A and B are shown apart, each in its own frame.
Chain A
């Protein structure tokens, strides 16, 4: 590799690349979540008939993966570079490979493989078909064609690409620990994130107030259901995300027995299904604005 990109350049490179493929660059969504997929820019936009092309960096919080900043590869919060394109473009695999080239990863100098991995997120009622992408044996991205989202069969299909930023950066920068990564301008990842990693791990495993969290979960759930009934889709969705994160905190604390686990996941899944349907209903009332937009674009092109 000619030059080693820092994380910041990596993100800028991916943003430029995907913008050139027609993706809107969105910002990270400001409610805690366990995966980029749970951003409303993916989850909600994947249902219904409207087209959608977007790219964004999403911090993903997984309390159970916290390691007090001590494990070189496992993190309470990692970052994903998320690309969603709907309907899935014919050449999406080639786009992905071109994005690696843009990052300085020349496929001819490596071993890149698409290894079957059918993705599932049962608590959000999601399932898809796709691959893990292996770069010299390391999984660096997840590639999914969504089939079911929020319990709804989807058409058109969204293709989702999720780059594990720290993983990929560790490879590009050739470091053994994420904390040695260069974030940007010479600043090390560890200098920024080691402390929050420790504190969040300490909180999630030792200090979280279980009783409070259980109450939160119930309140958030109640609020989400109330808002869904009012057709207030986005506020409702925020509360579902809060439920999910609260559950993850409780789970990390070992506060949820295996039997209860299934019950909580079922409750989140029910909300996810209701909100997905509510989203489609509300968009329909507005005449699916992005669909109109796409049709206008298409007819404009024909006229040209």
Chain B
């Protein structure tokens, strides 16, 4: 059977660079679903995307839809025909409803009862008749921002301008708004011309002639080659930041990389400032020598060819210098004031209207950090540095440089702190307290930075919860989940214990003692434990942990992530052994029965024992109870495993649910004691054993 190629192109005004890639993937997925829903077979869908176009080339497209037959059940025979075997009104109605007559009805048994059926055969329509419906997928596209234009009710990412819709060499007509699909695409805005495509498969080559590299990967590869070439020519190293690379790729249709330079004197600015000016503000790649030292050069990508490139280079150099001039001004200006001045100024900067100022936040965090620092057993020197850092760590927020480049918060804090003679450890902690800034972002390297990061995040989470601003569903405007997740990761890195409820209580009582945030209802905070448990689960999910083990260790207890990690590690290790099944089964059996025990102080009275196995289990459990506080979670598992034959013997010899309620209760309470110990792992009942 002959197959076809179908080209769909959506032409529009310049999309935001970050929208291009997700949008073309979305369009492809929608096309694939559309073809499937419409029973049109195809071999492949190729994506093309630039800021001004989203296009798909469907190849190996079937000539027509596959035929479909459906069978609908009507009334039962006893209703469909009367005693004389004549079709009833019901049967006639059913057949008519199906678009046929009673002659078409078939009879078949369903679970022994005869029913009438109508079989419908739908023969497939030619692709050309189905494809005009692609307007559905064009209109169904979703975008992070949508806009209106002209007088239309319709919304899209940017105003729409043209559509190409070609099945081989034939236009498949459709219309969206007042735009008719055709065969004409647009070339590069300045270098190219409109071009009428003869055939769907001409798309990529025809556009290349019009200075449009429509394939994003090829455009990206071209940029990489050009940048590498420039680097090699000059003996430079160029760091191709991935986000910037993707952005640049989607800011141009026809890339030409070029190098520019700036005066060496600006190299006196901190690297972070230079890099931010180049990368974030101007979308330039910065350049270093082979030792990683910044050079007064940059590489940028133009949307065009090499003609008149000298104008472009000169213009870009001039813009960068203006920015760097500003930065020099801020850098010098900022050093005219002391850290104490800035800290004072934080009294006028709000952290949040309902919570208080940044200054007040620092005061609270200083208390939390000190408390945690002692808990985590920091040295005296570390504690001193931590205290200092915690009292000033937000000061850079009110410097001019951070005002101009907000993304340098923390970074400038470290630089200015060092310039003003703070200890490197203090300066470093100031920078590190924001970390991690994304789910898999870098963690603080220093202990002090780690504690400060936890304290800062903990304060944010608790005060927001206290002010009733709790994340729900997709609504988490202050990224509290990310912050809690950051805490979990830092704790795990240091293997610090963090019994959440106790720490929460300590922080609340500290706030109350110092009369901090009195307006918040901190003692009414609910759900913090579950909030953190969910983050621990999220953490496990990145480690490919077994689901049943994750559920076991995260259930039923106060969060101390460290305990959960340790328990999961032990269970994961033990689960590979033959002994696991028997041990867990024994403990689960204990646990199930123990639930029947009265909820009272679990006291076991040896005087009520009927069998020696009871005494044996009793002795073992008593010894274990004494040892538990000093056992690691791994040792605890070993001890529970050793209990197994004793438990098995116990069950063999004793009928737990004895007729005598006293004996019965005595046995149940014995099992309950074991269950309480096993609970240190979480809830083992749901573990899968094979």
Interface residues of A (CB under 8 A from B): 71-73, 87-90, 93, 97, 107-116, 118, 129, 131, 135-138, 145, 147, 154-157, 159, 171, 176, 257-259, 262
Contact = CB atoms under 8 A, between A and B. Distances in A.
B316 interface: yes
B315 A257 contact: no
B10 interface: no
Contacts of A155: 148, 151, 153
B96 interface: no
A93 B186 CA distance: 14
B348 A257 contact: yes
Interface stretch (B32-40, B112-120, B302-310, B453-461): B302-310
B163 to A, nearest CB: 14
Given A145-B148, A154-B148, A155-B148, 4 more contacts: A116-B17, A129-B147, A156-B150, A259-B348
A147 B152 CA distance: 12
B320 A137 contact: yes
B319 A129 contact: no
A145 B251 contact: no
Interface string B238-254: 00000000000001100
Contact of A147 (B148, B191, B304, B316): B148
Given A88-B149, A155-B151, A258-B350, A171 B190 contact: no
B227 to A, nearest CB: 16
Interface residues of B, number: 45
16 contacts: A73-B322, A108-B191, A108-B307, A110-B311, A110-B312, A110-B315, A113-B251, A114-B13, A116-B14, A116-B18, A129-B145, A136-B316, A137-B315, A137-B320, A147-B148, A157-B148
B14 A114 contact: yes
Interface string B138-171: 0000000101111101000011010000000000
A111 B312 contact: yes
Given A73-B322, A137-B319, A115 B251 contact: yes
Interface string B48-85: 00010000000000000000000000000000000000
A107 to B, nearest CB: 4
B315 A135 contact: yes
Nearest to A263: B353
A118 B145 contact: yes
Nearest to B19: A116
B314 interface: yes
The winner among A112, A113, A156, A157 for most chain B CB atoms within 10 A is: A113
A109 B304 CA distance: 9
Interface string B189-231: 1110000000000000000000000000000000000000000
Contacts of A108: 190-191, 304, 307-308
Given A114-B14, A257-B348, A109 B320 contact: no
A157 B316 contact: no
A93 B314 CA distance: 25
Contacts of B401: none
A49 to B, nearest CB: 9
Nearest to A128: B147
B318 interface: yes
A87 B308 CA distance: 36
Contacts of B348: 257-259
Nearest to A171: B315
A290 B304 CA distance: 42
A241 B190 CA distance: 41
Most chain B CB neighbours (cut-off 10 Å) among A72, A87, A118, A129: A129
B306 to A, nearest CB: 11
Residue in A97, A157, A262 whose Cβ sees the most chain B Cβ within 10 Å:
A157
A88 B150 CA distance: 5
Contacts of A118: 145
A115 B314 CA distance: 20
Contacts of A147: 147-148
B315 A258 contact: no
Contacts of B319: 136-138
Nearest to B308: A109
Closest CB pairs A-B (n = 5):
A136-B315, A116-B16, A137-B316, A114-B14, A109-B308
A259 B304 contact: no
A112 B304 CA distance: 9
B420 interface: no
Nearest to B161: A90
A136 B320 contact: no
A171 to B, nearest CB: 7
Given A145-B148, A156-B150, A136 B350 contact: no
Nearest to A146: B148
Contacts of B307: 108-109
B135 interface: no
A157 B282 contact: no
B520 interface: no
Contacts of B314: 136
Contacts of B329: 71
A131 B14 contact: yes
Nearest to B284: A137
A157 B318 contact: no
Contacts of B308: 108-110
Interface string B490-533: 00000000000000000000000000000000000000000000
Contacts of B564: none
Contacts of B149: 87-88, 145, 157, 159
Contacts of A110: 308, 311-312, 315
B131 interface: no
A87 B348 CA distance: 44
Nearest to B325: A72
B300 interface: yes
Contacts of A262: 353
A107 B211 CA distance: 14
Contacts of A107: 189-190
A129 to B, nearest CB: 4
B350 A156 contact: no
Contacts of B303: 111-113
B130 interface: no
B349 interface: yes
A107 B311 CA distance: 11
A137 B307 CA distance: 17
Contacts of B18: 116
B282 A137 contact: yes
A93 B13 contact: yes
A110 B349 CA distance: 43
Interface in B1-26: 13-18
Contacts of A72: 322, 325
A259 B350 contact: yes
A115 B316 CA distance: 15
B302 A111 contact: yes
Contacts of A97: 189
Contact of A109 (B300, B311, B325): B311
Contacts of A137: 282, 300, 312, 315-316, 319-320
Interface in B282-317: 282, 300, 302-304, 307-308, 311-312, 314-316
Contacts of B16: 116
A19 to B, nearest CB: 22
B373 to A, nearest CB: 31
